[in-house]
Amino acid sequence: MKHTLWLLFFVCSLALGADTGWYAGAGWGPHHWNKGGSKYGVFGGYQLTSNWGAEVGLTDVGIAEGVEVSGVFSYPVIKNLDVYAKAGAFINVHTLTDPSLIYGLGASYKLTKSVGLRGQVQRYVDVGGKDLNALTGAVVFKF
């Protein structure tokens, strides 16, 4: 997993000179709040329009490590604050079994033009035979 995380950071760093739609971040948070597990990972994406984006991430949800691929719809609420919904798939990198459905809701706040904070609630359906709920906080860097 460590090598894959570094690869994602490298790929995202290549976007530094690219269009301003690129972003990358890292997050952590509890999953299955009553059982004390945690979720962490890194992600990167591209904001296709003012409302639509695509995102890829490497995530460890405690019982599995995998790749997330999601579509993201965001909507501005007030200056610097957006709410968003995302949906996609989680693929376990160790078993490469059928993708699991993921979906969630969140909010992002822009601290500056290039740095923001994000909070989200996300559901992982049938990962390792279990459904997981995760509450995640993240730092996002926009290029």
The conformation of residue 93, written as its DSSP 8-state character, comes to T
Check: CB of residue 82 under 8 Å from CB of residue 107.
yes
Sequential pLDDT tens for the chain (143 residues) = 544 444 444 444 433 333 359 999 999 988 765 566 788 999 999 999 989 999 999 999 888 899 999 999 999 999 999 999 999 999 998 887 789 999 999 999 999 999 999 999 999 998 888 888 889 999 999 98
Check: CB of residue 87 under 8 Å from CB of residue 59.
no
Task: Say what the pLDDT of residue 35 is.
Answer: 66
Task: Please indicate, yes or no, whether the overall pTM of this predicted structure exceeds 0.95.
Answer: no
Q: How far apart are CA 101 and CA 125, in angstroms?
A: 5
Give me the amino acid identity at 69. V
Dihedral in degrees, nearest 10, Cα atoms 88, 73, 104, 5:
60
